[in-house]
Amino acid sequence: MKRYARSAAALLALLVALLLGGAGVASAHAALLSTDPAQGTVVAVPPTAVTLHFSESVTLEPDAVRVFDPSGRRVDTGTAGHASGDASTAQVRIDASAAAAQGTYTVAWRVISADTHPVAGAYTFSIGRASAPAALTGVAGVGSSGPTATGTLYGLSRGVQYGAVALLIGSVGAVLLCWPGGLRLRGVQRLMIVGWAGLLLSTLAELALRGTYEAGTGLGKVFDLSLLRQVLGEKLGVLLAVRVLLLAGAGVFLALLGGHAQGGDENGDESGALVVERRRRIGLGVSGALLAIAIAITWPLGDHASVGLQVPLAVTLDTVHILSMSLWLGGLATVLVGLRALTRAGGIDVRAVGRFSTLAFWCVTALTATGVYQAWRGLGSWSALTDTTYGRLLLVKIGAVLVILGAAWMSRRWLTLLRTDAAADEAEAGAATEAEELAEAGVLAEVPAAGAERTAERTGEQTAEHAAERTAEAGQDADADPERAAQLARQAKARQQARQRKAREAAPARGMLLRSVALEAVFAVVVLGLTTVLTNSPPGRSVAEQQAVAKAAAHGPVDVTLPYDTTGTTRGAKGRITVDIDPARPGQNTLHAYLYDSTGKPVDVPELDVALSLRSKNLGPLTVKLDHLDIGHYGTADLELPLAGRWTLAVTVRSDDIDEATVTTPITVG
């Protein structure tokens, strides 16, 4: 055990060295960084295009970006692309004739992140004046973001895949590495077939659902061949197709494994046939290992590990994580099936359980090392453990794994008791064999009284005298007929073994081992479910990046629109004023003010004054000198803001010699 601990410590030290050797920013689930036109802005003329900038490269469908006018009619050209060849952008052209209406426009977008996860959203901007946005239903990114039937089925297919790959790789690994005799047990054979069929069917289901899931459409489009062709042209579609082909090879492998089970031999002799069988088993083990690695690597190549920092290392360790998880959890299911059958009926024996216990130790060590790396790479900070959904799910998963480890510790204790019982059984069986050999030689009658007492202890007789009487009778029979003596010895041995078997199977150790392994298996299912949810959740680093973008946007350029009413009778006496301050940070800024009348048309007024005050510092009001730039357009490039903080913006509009109005609003300068 100390050797195992030293090896685990060496692995963790290597992990720390790898972690310290890499630095940078990881990203997954693309975050929208900026848009043009910007969120909430009012532009004077219709833009020629709408452009979105993301935190990582994105894959675009033809309808990735859609623009709707105030009435809900689409005004984009319908074909999205990358701006200037930049893969982290999405751009769609605007039909100038269709975008003539003034009011608020809605931009809905749905793109595929570099880690194959679709992300969607929506924002608004206005042309000429702001208005109520169009009421859009059934548009991806707009309205409710709750689960859909397609999303639920898609997530279910991914969850089934994790459980199925664990059953497939774990059951095959357990019988090849720990329990060759398990190949003959029907329950173990069912585990292999269920794992293989479940993984194949769930992979095909994900492939069929992927197109509708990406597009955000209903289940009616599942059999749309155009969507399937589109998916097969993407990275994840290619990986799913490769996995299907690998599973076809795995089906052939299972057939060969079944044939090996029919011809296998476990008697332990060194005959030529057994040597051939061992070579065949080695060949099956090597080919099975290669297939398992190839199947496992299709997950990290299409998930979080394929994006961000240290991609080669992340993909490698994620593959090791999946293989270790499969060998451990799928092996648990195999051991559970073996424990439910009696040893004489083909159930798992103590030696095989011990070998799996050693394998499980190394699997847990690998899971711990790779899991720490995944957590560091995905979270990025300690606060993300509690501040993000990804971190909280990870904590729950860690708790479930700790329960499994506790149950595994109990299993090892019961296994130790079973090993002790097995050693005693072997000693008694050896003694019975020695007695049989003596009986066959016709010398059992010469066994002294002390030998009779030992015989009584071995055979479980109630008293030494009774054993002595039986020995004397056997000796008389030996003198008369040696064959009869040998027959009596064999009968005694059979009775002894039957009593030992009943005692062993009635002992609580095997039953308690069965219960502790069952507890491990139950929480293994919980871990697999949490793993599925984690792969569909944005990592903490990605969430932190999006939060930073949102914070920067909140402290970025100011864009406010205020209604005013001077109670006068001129055209500009009542309307709306929009004020833009860029970048709204301490230092030099630009300010633009746009004045609109009650009909939404630009209008000039005799006087427009803007002032800024920072009450927390008793600063201001700072009067802003504005230049008249165009009809209803005033501005300056020399606005100096000395401090960050919560400022008050005051705008005074005078529509004639006596009528004026002042409107105020708080703004953030940061």
**Could you give the 3-state DSSP secondary structure of residue 607?**
strand
pLDDT in tens, 388-420: 777 788 888 888 878 877 877 777 676 666 666
**Cα–Cα distance for residue pair 324/329, rounded to 1 Å:** 8
Q: What is the pTM of this model?
A: 0.59
**Cα–Cα distance for residue pair 140/80, rounded to 1 Å:** 15
- Whether 188 and 175 have beta carbons less than 8 Å apart is answered as yes
Mean pLDDT along residues 525-530: 74
**Cα–Cα distance for residue pair 536/530, rounded to 1 Å:** 10
**Cα–Cα distance for residue pair 360/451, rounded to 1 Å:** 45
- Peptide bond preceding 621 in cis form (omega within 30 of 0): yes
Cβ neighbours around 510 below 10 Å, total = 21
Average pLDDT, the chain: 76
Q: Where do we find the tokens 């090849």?
A: 176
Residue 14, classified by CB atoms within 10 Å of its CB into exposed (0-12), middle (13-18) or buried (19+), is exposed
Q: Which of 665, 654, 487 is nearest to 565 (CA)?
A: 654
**Could you give the 3-state DSSP secondary structure of residue 401?**
helix
Which residues, other chains included, contact 104 with Cβ-Cβ below 8 Å and sequence gap of 6+? 70, 124, 125, 126, 130, 131, 132, 133
pLDDT in tens, 482-523: 777 777 777 777 776 666 555 444 456 666 766 777 777 777
pLDDT in tens, 293-318: 999 999 998 877 787 778 899 899 99
**Cα–Cα distance for residue pair 662/494, rounded to 1 Å:** 107
Instruction: For residue 62, give both structure tokens.
Output: 């033809």
No. of H helices and E strands in the chain? 15, 17
pLDDT in tens, 533-565: 776 666 666 666 666 655 655 566 788 888 888
Least confident interval from 204-218, 374-388, 428-442, 604-618: 428-442
The pLDDT of residue 244 is above 80:
yes
The pLDDT of residue 646 is above 60:
yes
**Cα–Cα distance for residue pair 580/567, rounded to 1 Å:** 25
pLDDT of 351: 84
